[in-house]
């Protein structure tokens, strides 16, 4: 586990990224010469490898970088989350 993670109490809820935010609400950061989405980098620094996969938020909060709120998934997982949470454009809001 990355040192930066062990210094935080994961029960605090969302850890919102407050630096560069993209228009879709996700954080962005340069790390070791590579531009990352902040939530993807959070999982990498926590010891996971999301290469070739999506990183999904259980909290539905795009700027959140708390590794406990993130999981590796597929496009199907992401779609199912959207439908289950009523976020599909065709669902009544």
Q: List, for residues 52-66, the tens digit of each pLDDT value.
A: 999 999 998 999 999
Q: Which domains, ranges and CATH numbers included, belong to the chain?
A: 3-84 (3.90.75.20)
Q: For residue 5, give the nearest of 58, 64, 45 by alpha carbon.
A: 45
pLDDT given at position 2: 44
Strand residues in 9-85 grouped as ranges (E): 28-31, 34-37, 54-57, 70-73
Q: What is the pLDDT of residues 7-48, one digit of tens each?
A: 455 566 899 999 999 999 999 999 999 999 999 999 999 999
């Amino acid at each position: 586990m990355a040192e930066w993670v062990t210094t935080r109490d994961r029960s605090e809820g969302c850890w919102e990224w407050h630096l560069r935010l993209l228009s879709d609400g996700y954080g962005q950061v340069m790390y070791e010469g590579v531009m990352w989405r902040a939530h993807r980098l959070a999982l990498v620094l926590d010891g996971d490898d999301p290469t070739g996969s999506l990183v999904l938020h259980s909290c539905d909060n795009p700027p959140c970088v708390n590794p406990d709120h993130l999981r590796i998934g597929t496009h199907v997982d992401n779609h199912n989350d959207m439908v289950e949470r009523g976020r599909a454009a065709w669902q009544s809001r």
